[in-house]
Amino acid sequence: MNLNPEFQRQLQLEFSSARLVGVPLILGVIFALTYLIDDYHFANVTAQSALGLFLLMVSFWGARQAVDSVLDEQRSHTWDTQRLSALDPWTMVCGKLLGSTLVVWYGCVICLVVYGLAANNTSNFFWVCGYAITSGLLVQNLSLLLSLIALRKGQINSNSVIIGLAIIAAFTIGSWIMPLAEDPQALQNKANIAWYGLNVTDQLLTLITVCLALFWCVVGNYRLMAQELRIRTLPWVWLAFAIFLIVYTGGFIPAEQFGDYFYSIAFGICLTLCYLIVFAEYNEPMRIKRLLGYMTKENWLRSAEELPLWCITFVLACLLAIPLSFLHPADVNELHIYPLPILLLLFFSYGKNPQRAFSLTLLSLVLLYGVLPALFETAKQEWLVALFFPLFTDSMVLSIVYVAVQSALIWYFLYQRWQESV
Amino acid sequence: MINVEQLIFEYPNLRALDEVSFHIPQGSITALVGPNGAGKTTLLRCMAALDQPMSGNIRIGGIDVLEHPRECHRIIGYLSDFFGLYDRLTVRQCLHYVARAQGIADEDCEAAIAKVSKGLYITDRLDVLAGTLSRGLRQRVAIAQAIIHSPRVVLLDEPASGLDPEARHELAELFLELQKQGMTLLVSSHILAELEAYSTDMLVLRQGRIIEQVAIKTLTHAQDFKLTLATPVANLAALLQSIDKLIVLKTEHDQSALLQIQGDSLQQHELLKNLLARNLPVCEFAKISNNLQDAYLETIRQRP
């Protein structure tokens, strides 16, 4: 049988006979204890424990398995062998994700079966299962995505950070699922939410949102894996994701205020994505040199492949700023845009210790937008505060001058740093 | 088989490969030599489409590596200097995984494993966990992984490091066997004596530049000899140059000379007779082994 080789290898590594026996045995002992606590019945305590264990396993253990399926390759120097294989990105992603977490789902299915048998009220059972399974898949996919990002950036010891995020995700999922599991009327009590005029229940919308997030995580994993396997990719998926988020979020704006708020929300989304991706991407100076080289040769296809993703959303944000500046919504009096964090991160990334770029950027931002402005404000030197927050000044001309000074300074330093590093 | 043109690779503040160009014919075994930090590993990684160069062209078996890296992966085998194995899998499972991942059908995997493990003398270790193997055996398993899909081109970065002399000899035999099967090999190594056993060509890389590409086996046809006289003879260089089929490489103090002779042992005998006939007081006429190390050092000396 021509099984997915990566899936088969993950099974050989993770689904050992010891685990095959050990997982139900440990769960059996735990449920035996809850059986005793429930006065020799499989009742509420057992059901709650089964659901709690499900969440714990699917997020904590599942995330760890997903992360290790990628980062362990780099740690044990086997990643090059995988990159040179004939496996396509989809086979690789499915093999890693499903193969490494199958043992986790084996335990999770046992928990869900016990929950189904022990729960007093099973009227919401399919909703609980639907939430639990999609959310679990989302957490594991997200963990794989983060580990691929960490791999790209050379941060191969990021397990604890990613697993920490998975635990936070587990608590979030728990806050959705537990009310459904405990209250049979939970579905009836929920108010409807309007999305582009469609009335959908809160629970259904959450489930659909989780499914959509799962879809984009899978797409992200595919793209990152494709890049690792040296398949050339154009940045259209990032553009599509930004547009999807704008369209999806726009659905929640009341119809009568749509015109007022759509552009500001879209603008905010693009800037947020811009900040997120610049921190997530591997910002290497040689990439910019390659990009400029391709642009000089008018090789636009290769230029697009080398283009940093933050540029896409930044350009989109700038395009959205044009109609926004004309519409000027009534309660959006001041719109502060600070591309400085992006440039600062690039500045530190092009330095001698790019691994510390993130922490150095955060420190600089705290100083530039917190400590120093507070210092000048306390000293009653408001004009100096405006150097950091240009819109704080009353004069439009001055604010433009401050923006120009700020931009010119950081671009100068960034260019100098880049030239030194290439 | 391999064509590299104007290849440039840069790390921040360092040009690791500087307009590297060379051609490697099909069926050859090329030794890639050079001092530490010369760019050997970077060159091999670029050729394996693992790292992206700044500019240049690489064609392997007619495939443009930079344009179609995945197609290139199917026809090459690559052994990294920092290779790893799946320590919790048996050798058989490791080889089976790589075979399947390289597109070999499940039913053909056993035959591929048997063939490659026989060639690398690891048949008796197939059911041992990879993590329990010695350094030398791990190296053999890694080479087996690199060639299990019978690639047309094999790139090996320091394949003999950690191997004992016997294993190195077996490795040399394996490379010659792979060459007989039509594979083209590019082998980077510091151990020049070991490369000599199987290399047909040598590529010298220094500070990111190819400073020499020579055909080693051809060199052996032109044999170097050292001539020493008991007493100096005036105008020795001119006298020697007047002899047919003899190239004078160097003379010293009219008493010794470095000569190159094209031909077999009969030709050598004729030459010696000729020298004695000219009343030269010959006290030493000895063959100089012109090995890879000499060729390498000569290249390095000539191009500082």
Please name the residues between 121 and 150 in chain B that touch chain A, using a CB distance below 8 Å. Answer: 145
CA of A91 vs chain B CAs: smallest distance (Å): 10
Measured between CB atoms, does B98 come within 8 Å of chain A? yes
**C-alpha span between B121 and A257 (Å, rounded):** 76
Q: Is the Cβ pair A77, B83 closer than 8 Å?
A: yes
Which chain B positions have a beta carbon within 8 Å of A18's beta carbon?
none
Interface membership of B74 toward A (CB under 8 Å): yes
Structure tokens at A389: 């927050």
Q: What domains sit in chain B, N to C, each tagged with a CATH number? A: 2-214 (3.40.50.300), 220-302 (3.30.70.250)
Of A78, A230, A284, the CB nearest to B69: A230
Of A77, A82, A293, the CB nearest to B55: A293
Q: Does A94 touch chain B (CB under 8 A)?
A: no
Closest CA–CA distance from residue A134 to any residue of chain B (Å): 29
Q: Which helix (H) or strand (E) holds A248?
A: helix A236-250
Tokens 């904590």 correspond to A60
| pLDDT 10s digits, B269-282 | 888 888 888 888 98
Residues A98-118, buried b or exposed e (16+ Cβ, 10 A)?
bbbbebbbebbebbbebbeeb
Q: Do B86 and A78 touch (CB under 8 A)?
A: yes
- Chain B residues near residue A81 by CB distance under 8 angstroms: 83-84, 98, 101, 145
CA atoms within 13 Å, Cβ hemisphere of B50: 19
Q: Strand, helix or coil at A76?
A: coil
Which amino acid, one-letter code, is at B131? G
Instruction: Find the angle CA(A80)-CA(B164)-CA(B110) to the nearest 5 degrees.
Output: 50
Tell me which amino acid residue B80 is: S
pLDDT per residue as tens, chain A (422 positions): 678 999 999 999 998 889 999 999 999 999 999 999 888 888 888 998 999 999 999 988 999 999 999 998 988 899 999 999 989 999 999 999 999 999 999 999 999 999 988 887 777 788 888 888 999 999 999 999 999 999 988 877 777 778 788 888 878 888 877 777 777 776 666 677 888 888 888 888 888 999 999 999 999 999 999 999 989 889 999 999 999 999 999 999 888 888 878 888 999 999 999 989 998 888 888 999 999 999 999 999 999 999 999 999 999 998 988 888 777 655 555 555 667 788 888 888 888 888 888 889 889 888 888 888 888 888 888 778 887 877 777 777 877 888 788 888 888 989 999 988 88
Amino acid (1-letter code) at residue A285: P
Asked if B205 and B31 count as a contact pair (C-beta separation under 8 A), the reply is no
Which ranges of A119-158 does DSSP label H, i.e. alpha helix?
125-153
Interface contact flag, A230 B145, Cβ < 8 Å: no
In the three-class reduction of DSSP (H, G, I as helix; E, B as strand; rest coil), residue A67 is classed as helix
Q: Measuring CA to CA, which residue among A116, A147, A145, A119 is closest to residue A129?
A: A116
Chain A positions touching B74 (Cβ under 8 A) are: 86
- Among A residues 115-174, those touching chain B with beta carbons less than 8 Å apart: none
A77 touches chain B (CB under 8 A): yes
